[in-house]
A and B are shown apart, each in its own frame.
Chain A
């Protein structure tokens, strides 16, 4: 089973390593060659330097026969566009897209894109933690 991770920063690199450990055949894509360092010296997956908007880069990373893709570059709109391209043009069944802005994450989730919003998660966890650990105001 093949997975492609687009955007190999703190989040992307950790996801790539996790998927590799789960037994996936993983290729990571990042604009900067330095991102390879985040994957560690023992990295046995693939790595392609380039921008995820570039179809040549996507194809080099093996997107046409990927079963899953995670899109986590540092730009919400870039992620939203790449995620839709992976879903609609390459027909990847499992595409997960990181979107920091909760409103855009919800907008695209309603239209069939699997968006994950770390901001929304932080908001929920912070609120829940306060609610669980402090007495409710009188």
Chain B
């Protein structure tokens, strides 16, 4: 597979190294002269110097072939957005993945059709949420295109549903309980499954009703 990596920082350089080891063909673009010199020692002709938001630079990197994958991994969100748009809309690159540096910019990526994004801050926050049990609801996976997410909820002693049958719960529209994890085992949720304190419940829920689901299972936030 041919991959163009825009940005040779820690993310870009490590991804490039791994892709090369896997036998893929890669061109990495780096703008900063000192960083470029360092990368050139390791990567030789794989790294190219230039501003990856310039169309002529992308063309020299072979954007018109086009690559199977474009990774926009610079430290600047506006740059990553423009690189992804030029690749996808201008050259028909089938897959563009953009790095989001500031999670507050995620909405701009979604709005402008760059749906595959990675954000280190959001990932770290996800892990933090997972470690803070009183938060109640942990988002495990977001299915952006479908508008759904998979969440985990831990049932507490004082949860309004403790002791209730799953079949009798009034869940928000667009949500389903998938499984409960208890005593080291996972069981699929059936209508007769009884919710018990300590249960870790996996659920699938539409983006906008995650908080409603939390309210049904755990009550109002403390």
A residues sitting closer than 8 Å to B (CB atoms) are 53-55, 75-78, 80-81, 84-85, 88-89, 101, 103-104, 107, 111
1/0 per position for B71-89, CB-CB distance to A under 8 A? 0000011110110001001
Docked Cα-Cα span, A75 to B90, in Å, equals 21
Docked Cα-Cα span, A114 to B54, in Å, equals 19
Closest residue of chain A to B58, judged by CB? A103
1/0 per position for B104-148, CB-CB distance to A under 8 A? 110110011000000000000000000000000000000000000
Number of A-B contacts (CB under 8 A): 48
Q: Cβ of B90: which chain A residues have Cβ within 8 Å of it? A: 107
B55 near A80 (CB under 8 angstroms)?
Answer: no
**Assuming the A-B contacts A53-B105, A103-B56, are A81 and B78 also in contact, with contact meaning beta carbons closer than 8 angstroms in the complex?**
yes
CB<8 Å pairs between A and B, sample of 18: A53-B105, A77-B53, A77-B76, A77-B78, A78-B78, A81-B77, A81-B112, A84-B112, A85-B108, A85-B111, A85-B112, A88-B111, A103-B55, A103-B56, A104-B82, A104-B86, A107-B55, A107-B90
**Assuming the A-B contacts A54-B104, A81-B78, A88-B112, are A76 and B53 also in contact, with contact meaning beta carbons closer than 8 angstroms in the complex?**
yes
- Interface of B, secondary structure class, is helix
Q: Cβ of A101: which chain B residues have Cβ within 8 Å of it? A: 54
A75 near B78 (CB under 8 angstroms)?
Answer: yes
Closest residue of chain B to A54, judged by CB? B104
> How many interface residues does B have (CB within 8 Å)?
19
**Closest CB in chain A relative to B114 CB, distance in Å:** 10
- Interface of A, secondary structure class, is helix
Q: Cβ of B104: which chain A residues have Cβ within 8 Å of it? A: 53-55
Docked Cα-Cα span, A81 to B107, in Å, equals 12
Docked Cα-Cα span, A74 to B81, in Å, equals 17
Docked Cα-Cα span, A55 to B81, in Å, equals 16
Docked Cα-Cα span, A88 to B56, in Å, equals 27
Closest residue of chain B to A110, judged by CB? B90
Cβ-neighbour of A53 out of B54, B55, B77, B79 (below 8 A):
B77
**Closest CB in chain A relative to B50 CB, distance in Å:** 13
Cβ-neighbour of B78 out of A53, A88, A103 (below 8 A):
A53
Q: Cβ of A88: which chain B residues have Cβ within 8 Å of it? A: 111-112
**Assuming the A-B contacts A77-B82, A80-B78, A81-B82, are A55 and B107 also in contact, with contact meaning beta carbons closer than 8 angstroms in the complex?**
yes
**Assuming the A-B contacts A85-B111, A88-B111, A103-B56, are A111 and B78 also in contact, with contact meaning beta carbons closer than 8 angstroms in the complex?**
no
